[in-house]
Structures are given as C-alpha cells and as structure tokens.
Amino acid sequence: MAQAAALTRPELVCPAGTPAALRSAVDAGADCVYVGFRDETNARNFPGLNFSRKELGEGIAYAHERGAKVLVAINTFPHAGKPDIWHQAVADAARLKADAAILADIGLIEHAHRLHPELRLHLSVQAAASNPEAIRFYAERFGVKRVVLPRVLTVAEIAAINPRIAPVETEVFVFGGLCVMAEGRCALSSYVTGQSPNMNGVCSPAADVRYTETHEGITSELGGFTINKFRATEPAGYPTLCKGRFITHDKASYLFEEPTSLNTIAILPDLIRAGVTAFKIEGRQRGRAYVAAVVQAFRAGVDAVLAGQPLPDIDLDRITEGGKQTTGAYEKAWR
C-alpha cells in the first residue's frame, strides 16, 4: 500500500497596520507579515495606520532576525498620468529588502518587473485572477511568483487550479472581513464620500462617519446618508455601504452583505490538502490584540493538522464582525 504524501506546511501571512502590530504578529508565530506605506499606494490608507520608510526598515530587520518575512502591499491603482508615488513605493520596497511586493495594477507590475528584477512579485487579490490562464499570464509575462486568490472559489476549485499553475504559489484568505463585488475593487464608497478604495485606498473614511444617539438607539451615517439604525441592545457596527441595512418592500435588511467574518479553522485540513502555499489573515486596520489572538489560533490549527492531531477548540467569536462566522465561498453551502 502506497504511503500518503506528506502535507506541505503553509505559510501564515498576517496583517500589521503599525510597527507594534508587526512585532505582535511575528512574536505570535507569523511566517510573513504584510504591511503598507503611509499613503494611498495601499488599500488600507487610514489615519494612524501604516509605515514610514524608516519604520518599515526597522520592521523588516525585526522580522528577519526572527525568521519571518515582510510583504509590502502596493495594491491600489495609480492615477492616470501620475504614477510617481506608486513607482517610489516599489523602489523603496526593493531598497529596504522587502521579501515581496503585492501588486494589483498591470502597469505597475510591468514597471516593477522591468526596473526591479530582484524584487519578488505577488499578485494582489484586487487583480481578480481566478483561473489558470490569467494566473499563467502574470507568471510568464511578469515573473509573478504567487497569486492571492479571490474569495469566490471552492476548495475543490482551488485544488484543481494548483497543479495547472505550478510552480506559481497560491495564497488564500482564512480569516477576517469579507468584501463584496470584485474583491475590494468596490466603487460604492466613492459615490458617497468621493474617496475610492481602488485609487485612494480608503473605504468609508472616518471623516465621513457620524453616529447619532436617539431614544430608539444609535443611527450610523456615512457622508450624510443613513447606513444603519441599531437598537440600544445591538452593537453599532462601522457604517460601510456594503454592510448597511436598507428598507426595501417595507422591510429593513442587509441587501449586499451581513456583518460577518470569514473563519476557516474548521476546514484547514481541506485547504492544506488542496496545495495552498499561504494562509492570509485580513485586518491591517485592527489592533495588536486582534492580530495576536488570530495568529496564535491559526498557528495552533495549522500545527495540529501537520502533526496529525485533531483541530483545537478555538473560539474567535469575540473578534468577529457581528459575532458571526462563515466559511464563505469555500464550501458554497448557499449554491
């Protein structure tokens, strides 16, 4: 009887919106930490988040000394005719010895491939490459080494893609917030606030958010529009349009997406057997406690699977959106 093939240990790719969060992620067991510069070249361009060049250099040194990697997300789309800050971000990531840059725009990918051949390139989920033909194009034309797959594929579909694109690696999301439409390339926020998640890196900027208390509870607003109303006993979520509650046919409901978090702890063995190279945790805008808790949970889960042990009983309800969890499209129970 043939012996079963050994499982490959996937990298745990963890978020860091601040230098403190980077250190927490590395100390909690992250194999890689992904970060962004403090400007609109990254899709989490919020006040108080992200890294200066000096901070990134120090963060890379901290990670490398402890055997971890640092990936730089340069995953927004340059303004037409004004690519300078995106080009500078790529150059600085290469100069600071980042382990890879995560890019979405095809023009920026070509620029990085041509001018910085020493810089490893990963394809952002915002490029929405979800089939072998698209992935092979980026790999063959620009030398992309890894693709972050959109959250629209089942485990079986991922398992079918991997052998067809080898040696290109795949990275999938395993925990955190979900995005509707085409994986973060969303225009909803820009209609209300004038700030585009795709080009400015800002979804529902805090300057446009208002909470109003009434005798019925709390009303959340974005750019002057009411996004949700919460009873006094309900937690008041952050007002993003995709997770707003609207009245249609005289009934208030979540039309686009309910507040919920992706959590794949229960299907980690399936994802590992599917040949995924890296597991990505979402949440660069979250604090150190969130980062440490999720990294520790998934570190324990991955290690248990590889050791042939049962998955540990891990409760992450306290840090999920709306206290709800889903495996999303991976199992597609809704189909």
Q: What is the pLDDT of residues 229-266, one digit of tens each?
A: 998 888 788 888 888 888 888 888 887 777 788 899 99
Q: What is the pLDDT of residues 169-200, one digit of tens each?
A: 999 999 988 876 566 667 788 888 888 888 88
267 lies in the same domain as 212: no
293 lies in the same domain as 146: yes
Residue at 270 is within a domain: yes
Q: How many domains, in total, are found in the chain?
A: 2
| Separation CA 50–CA 284 (nearest Å) | 8
210 lies in the same domain as 163: no
Residue at 41 is within a domain: yes
Name the residue range of residue 219's domain: 198-254
| Separation CA 107–CA 123 (nearest Å) | 12
| Separation CA 263–CA 278 (nearest Å) | 15
289 lies in the same domain as 207: no
36 lies in the same domain as 107: yes
158 lies in the same domain as 284: yes
Residue at token pair 């229960």: 266
| Separation CA 190–CA 17 (nearest Å) | 23
Q: What is the pLDDT of residues 52-68, one digit of tens each?
A: 999 999 999 999 999 99
Cis, peptide link before residue 259, omega less than 30° from 0 = no
Residue at 5 is within a domain: no
| Separation CA 272–CA 304 (nearest Å) | 12
153 lies in the same domain as 232: no
Residue at token pair 């979800």: 130
**Pairing relationship of beta strands 69-74 and 32-35 according to DSSP bridges:** parallel
Helix (H) or strand (E) holding 296: helix 288-306
Residue at 60 is within a domain: yes
| Separation CA 154–CA 152 (nearest Å) | 7
Per-residue pLDDT of the chain (335 residues; tens, 9 = 90+): 334 457 889 999 999 999 999 999 999 999 999 999 999 999 888 888 999 999 999 999 999 999 999 999 999 999 999 999 999 999 999 999 999 999 999 999 999 999 999 999 999 999 999 999 999 999 999 999 999 999 889 999 999 999 999 999 999 999 988 876 566 667 788 888 888 888 888 888 888 999 999 888 999 999 999 999 998 888 788 888 888 888 888 888 887 777 788 899 999 999 999 999 999 999 898 888 889 999 999 999 999 999 999 998 887 877 777 667 888 888 775 44
Query: What are the Cα distances from residue 324, in Å, to 99, 135, 259, 260?
Result: 34, 32, 7, 5
Angle at the Cα of 127 from the Cα atoms of 23 and 206, rounded to 5 degrees: 55
Look up the pTM and report it: 0.91
Task: Please answer whether residues 34 and 42 qualify as being in contact, where contact means their C-beta atoms are separated by less than 8 angstroms.
Answer: no
93 lies in the same domain as 214: no
